[in-house]
């Protein structure tokens, strides 16, 4: 159900983050190693990045095609660098649309968000309708409703609190067939990374150049830390903090 990553630190090219690693997002689009639900991520991909000094809002490139088929992305990914990047490859939930507007990263103001998982879309939209003034989701997919809920929370709460609140609110929902919600969120505002584990995998690695948070390690080198389930991760260029979402 999707793979995603976020980088915060010294500028790196999009290719260095998504295409070049031996087990990076490009390979995860067709051969993920730790994905618990589904086998490939061929229903789209997207990348968002920040360009400080040019604009406060992030730039974004999304396609509703497999990453490995997009020669245009491969042609410019090595020429674009940023100190904060969020990227994702998508495996669409059955019944959800395969379209650009359903593909992460979702964006609002200075925020980027990706959702790795699944949640009862109708129930998430009901929760959204109960929040006057919340923005309309840009797609009918479940992840777009999650994003709109986050935008509403983040407009009045610190980002880590907003992310945790959304996951706690939706985490107890189940599909009509009894499938529980899976809510691994990855969010950034360009200065910090906030992520959750809720029934799927997440790892991170700190280096002198910065911190990389990803659904699964993109190489077999040392230094990777697996995040326990039902935890909130908050990272900036100084430290990574983990806290339980259920305590």
Strands 210-214 and 55-63 come out as: unpaired
* 141 catalytically annotated: no
Distance separating alpha carbons of residues 14 and 95, to the nearest angstrom: 31
Task: Out of 2, 162, 163, 164, pick the active-site residue.
Answer: 2
Question: H-helix or E-strand containing 127?
Answer: helix 121-129
Buried b (16+ CB within 10 A) or exposed e, 178-212: eebbbbbbbbbbbebbbbbbbbbbbbbbbeeebbb
Q: Is omega for the bond preceding 178 within 30 degrees of 0, making it cis?
A: no
CA proximity to 89, closest of 52, 35, 44: 44
Helical axes 142-154 vs 121-129, angle rounded to 10°: 30
The torsion of the CA quartet 94, 193, 221, 207, rounded to 10 degrees, works out to 170
CA proximity to 172, closest of 183, 160, 157, 184: 183
Positions marked catalytic: 2
């Amino acid at each position: 159900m999707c793979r995603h990553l976020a980088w915060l630190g010294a500028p790196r090219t999009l290719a260095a983050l998504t295409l070049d690693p031996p087990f990076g997002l490009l390979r995860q689009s067709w051969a993920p190693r730790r994905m618990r639900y589904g086998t490939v991520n061929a229903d789209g991909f997207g990348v968002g990045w920040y360009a400080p000094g040019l604009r406060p809002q992030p730039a974004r490139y999304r396609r509703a095609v497999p990453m490995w088929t997009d020669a245009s992305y491969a042609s410019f990914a090595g020429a674009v660098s940023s100190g904060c990047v969020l990227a994702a490859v998508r495996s669409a939930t059955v019944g959800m649309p395969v379209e650009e507007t359903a593909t992460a990263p979702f964006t609002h103001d200075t925020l980027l968000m990706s959702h790795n998982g699944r949640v009862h879309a109708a129930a998430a939209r009901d929760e959204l309708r109960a929040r006057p003034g919340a923005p309309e989701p840009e797609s009918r997919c479940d992840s777009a409703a999650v994003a709109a809920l986050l935008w509403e929370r983040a407009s009045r709460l610190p980002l880590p609190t907003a992310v945790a609140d959304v996951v706690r609110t939706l985490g107890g929902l189940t599909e009509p067939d009894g499938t529980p919600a899976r809510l691994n969120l990855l969010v950034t505002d360009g200065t910090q990374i906030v992520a959750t584990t809720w029934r799927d995998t997440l790892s991170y690695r700190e280096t002198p150049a910065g911190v990389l948070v990803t659904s699964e390690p993109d190489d077999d080198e040392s230094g990777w830390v697996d995040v326990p389930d039902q935890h909130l991760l908050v990272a900036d260029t100084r430290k990574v903090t983990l806290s339980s979402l259920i305590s």
